Amino acid sequence: MSKYFYNPTVGIDVSADFSMVAILAPNGDIYKKPFKVKHDVDGFNHLLKEIKKVEKEFSMKTATFMESTGVYHLSLFHFLIQNELEVFIINPLITNSNKNKDIRKVKNDKKDAINIAKLGKFEDIKAYSSFDISIFTLKSLCRDYYKLVDTRSVYKKKLSADLRVIFPGYSKIFSDLTGVTSLNILKSYPTPKSIINAPKDDILKLLAESSRKSMDWCKKTCNKLTKAAENATIIGIESPCFSIKISGIISIIDSLNEQIDILLAQIKKMVKGDDLSDNFKHAIKLLKSIPGVGFLTAVTIMVEIGDFDNFTKPKQLVAYFGLDPSVNESGKFKSDKEKMSKRGTRFGRRALYAVALASIRSKRNGQANNKILLDYYQNNLKGKKKKVALVAIMHKLVNYIFAVLRDKKPYEQRPPKIHQQMYLRNKLVA
């Protein structure tokens, strides 16, 4: 039973430009017909006036519930929080699973607002009411960073595909097709003929300035470029449209690189600034003590977690990242081919995936980044697929993250046997 069972509750179905509001009396009856509130100052003040009126009539504090709808609910949520009201955000997965309980199929904003109010009043659901502007801003910056990186990857693939048509063999010359040296060459010489007709000294000079490598490397690379250009004049498709297209893609990649650098600089500035709490900054440092976790990954994981006090068990954090297995059972049937739910934060899951890959890698000297996780991964490979074993590593990492944030101590690598002995010893002491 909800702790607001005896209180008046407010349900808000949020849209882009307006919201539908339903108010329930303490006995569960509809106090007032659902009404529309515009997303402006007058609309917000009208809603505040109606809520205060209900609280005065029943001499009780109200509880307001609204569904998380992208960014549309944030301004209203922040306004109500600023006016010292109890406001809670509900996950859309919860509200969707509780809609359309009637036999008739009815779906409208009024019905949804009433259902949200009933859900908050009668059901013991999980909802959050904290809102930190600094963490929200940092979270938006991190998500924009990953979106721009994904967009850049799309254009990198387009550039590679076009070069295979107009300049076959170019991708084998440079290890990074969109590196500084490769892009400078393509900017100056976008077609195979332009490379053949260009003076060799000019190409060597451009390679030396861009790569900062030895002259021997520049000469070898120049010879490879000339040979590939000569072959491309025979097997490649010569078209001025493709050269224009390549120049356009390169300009887009340069612009994206500039925006990505600006975002990364702003993220670092915010973390070093005074807007974030000392506990949040300390948590980032603790996460960086885990092998494979860098600055951006640590920041991403922390902003996606938000308030760590909302999690009391590692399993809750595992489910929040969407790494928990889905369950499909009916009678005697139990499915053994269930995948992870993926119902949590996809950006946090992406960061964990990158850490998992880094954890099972080895350094140039052959030393493992995290020997314990590497051994665990290799043992799982004996009976599981690679992706399943990698998800098991991500699951382990979430447990590490939970322990580090709970104990507020840096990560320490311990063999499983020693860890088990410490656990049994602490259990006996307790």
Q: Is the pLDDT of residue 169 over 90?
A: no
Q: What is the pLDDT of residue 400?
A: 92
pTM score, two decimals?
Answer: 0.85
Q: What is the pLDDT of residue 354?
A: 94
Which of 140-154, 231-245, 327-341 shows the highest mean pLDDT? 140-154
User: How would you classify the pairing of strands 18-24 and 9-14?
Assistant: antiparallel
Q: Is the pLDDT of residue 234 over 90?
A: no
Q: What is the pLDDT of residue 31?
A: 87
Share of the chain above pLDDT 90, in %: 33
Q: Measure CA 345 to chain center.
A: 6
Average pLDDT, the chain: 87
Q: Is the pLDDT of residue 176 over 90?
A: no
Q: Is the pLDDT of residue 344 over 90?
A: no
- Kindly list the structural domains of the chain, giving each domain's residue range(s) and its CATH number in brackets, ordered by start: 9-131 (3.30.420.40), 137-267 (1.10.287), 277-429 (no CATH)
Tell me how crowded residue 40 is: count the other CB atoms within 10 A of its CB.
Answer: 12
Binning pLDDT at 50, 70 and 90, where does residue 99 land? Answer: low
Is 249 or 325 the better-scoring residue by pLDDT? 249
Q: What is the pLDDT of residue 138?
A: 93
Residue type, 236: G
Binning pLDDT at 50, 70 and 90, where does residue 109 land? Answer: confident
Q: What is the pLDDT of residue 211?
A: 86
Q: Is the pLDDT of residue 100 over 70?
A: no
Mean pLDDT of 79-92: 87
Binning pLDDT at 50, 70 and 90, where does residue 102 land? Answer: low
Q: Is the pLDDT of residue 426 over 70?
A: yes
In 3D, which of 136, 138, 94 has the Cα closest to residue 118?
94
Binning pLDDT at 50, 70 and 90, where does residue 45 land? Answer: very high
Q: What is the pLDDT of residue 1?
A: 61
Q: What is the pLDDT of residue 98?
A: 64
Q: What is the pLDDT of residue 122?
A: 86
Q: What is the pLDDT of residue 123?
A: 81
CA distances from 17 to 65, 77, 107, 324, 394 (A): 18, 14, 19, 36, 40
Mean pLDDT of 116-134: 81
Structure confidence by residue, pLDDT tens digits, 238-295 = 777 777 888 899 999 999 999 999 999 999 999 998 888 899 999 999 999 999 999 9
Share of the chain above pLDDT 70, in %: 97
Q: What is the pLDDT of residue 127?
A: 75
Structure confidence by residue, pLDDT tens digits, 382-391 = 888 888 899 9
Q: Is the pLDDT of residue 70 over 90?
A: no
Is 193 or 132 the better-scoring residue by pLDDT? 193
Q: What is the pLDDT of residue 47?
A: 92
